[in-house]
Amino acid sequence: MNAHQADDLDTAERLYREVLELHAAQPDALHYLGVLCHQQGRSDEGVELIRTALKITPRHPDAHNNLGNIHKECGRPAEAEACYRRALECASEHHNAQGNLAVVLEAQDRLDEAFEAYGTLLQQAPDDARGHYLLGLFLRNHAQNMEHLEQSAECFRRAFEVDSRNLRALEALGVTLYALKRHDEARQVYRDWLAREPENPVPRHMLAACGGADAPSRADDDYVRELFDGFADSFDEQLLKNLDYRAPQVLAAALEGVLPAAHGGLDVLDAGCGTGLCAPLMRAHARHLVGVDLSGGMVDKARLRGGYDALEVAELTSYLQAHPDAYDLVLSADTLVYFGRLEEVLAAAHAALRPDGWLGFTLEAMADESGELEITPSGRYRHGRGYVERVLASSGFGDVRIQADALRREAGQAVAGWVVLAQRQP
Mapped to the 3 state alphabet, what secondary structure does the chain carry? CHHHHCCCHHHHHHHHHHHHHHCCCCHHHHHHHHHHHHHCCCHHHHHHHHHHHHHHCCCCHHHHHHHHHHHHHCCCHHHHHHHHHHHHHHCCCCHHHHHHHHHHHHHCCCHHHHHHHHHHHHHHCCCCHHHHHHHHHHHHHCCCCHHHHHHHHHHHHHHHHHCCCCHHHHHHHHHHHHHCCCHHHHHHHHHHHHHHCCCCHHHHHHHHHCCCCCCCCECCHHHHHHHHHHHHHHHHHHHHHCCCCCHHHHHHHHHHCCCCCCCCCEEEEEECCCCCCCHHHHHHHEEEEEEEECCHHHHHHHHHHCCCCEEEECCHHHHHHCCCCCEEEEEECCCHHHECCCHHHHHHHHHHEEEEEEEEEEEEECCCCCCCEEECCCCCEEECHHHHHHHHHHCCEEEEEEEEEEEEEECCEEEEEEEEEEEECC
Question: Could you tell me which residue, 351 or 228, shows the higher pLDDT?
Answer: 351
CA geometry: angle 359, 364, 368, nearest 5 deg: 115
Name the pLDDT band for 310 (thresholds 50, 70, 90).
very high
* Model confidence at 14: pLDDT above 90: yes
Task: Quote the pLDDT of residue 232.
Answer: 60
Q: Per residue in 323-333, pLDDT tens?
A: 999 999 999 99
Least confident residue range of 73-87, 119-133, 368-382:
368-382
What average pLDDT does the chain have? 91
pLDDT in tens, 19-36: 999 999 999 999 999 999
Largest CA distance in the chain: 71
pLDDT at 319 over 90: yes
Q: What is the mean pLDDT of residues 90-103?
A: 95
| pLDDT of 318 over the 90 cut | yes
What does the pLDDT read at residue 237? 56
User: Is residue 188 scored above 90 in pLDDT?
Assistant: yes
Q: Quick one: what percent of the chain has pLDDT higher than 70?
A: 96
Q: What is the pLDDT of residue 80?
A: 96
Beta carbons within 10 angstroms of residue 270's beta carbon = 29
- Asked whether the predicted pLDDT for residue 241 surpasses 60, the reply is no
Say if residues 270 and 292 touch (Cβ distance below 8 Å).
yes
- Least confident range of 156-160, 174-178, 384-388: 174-178
CA-wise closest residue to 406 among 417, 398, 395: 417
Q: Residue 415: what pLDDT? A: 85
* pLDDT(244) > 90: no
Average pLDDT over residues 382-401: 95
b vs e for 286-319, b when ≥16 Cβ sit within 10 Å of the residue's Cβ?
bebbbbbbbbebbbbbbbbbebbeebebeebbeb
CA of 393: how far to CAs of 2, 276, 321, 370, 423, in Å? 56, 30, 19, 16, 10
pLDDT at residue 240 greater than cutoff 60:
no
Mean pLDDT of the 132-161 span:
93
- What average pLDDT does this structure show over 362-366? 94
Q: For residue 317, is pLDDT > 50?
A: yes
In the predicted structure, residue 412 carries a pLDDT above the cut 80: no
Average pLDDT over residues 156-173: 91
Q: Which domains does the chain have, with CATH numbers?
A: 138-214 (1.25.40.10), 233-424 (3.40.50.150)
- Structure pTM? 0.77
d(CA 84, CA 120): 14
In sequence order, which residues have a C-beta less than 8 Å from that of residue 364 and are 6 or more positions away?
A: 337, 376, 380, 381, 382, 383, 407, 415, 416, 417, 418
Residue 231: the pLDDT is 63
Mean pLDDT lowest among 18-22, 201-205, 285-289: 201-205
Asked whether residue 289 carries a pLDDT value surpassing 80, the answer given is: yes
The predicted structure's pLDDT at residue 304: 82
The answer to whether residue 243 scores a pLDDT higher than 70 is no
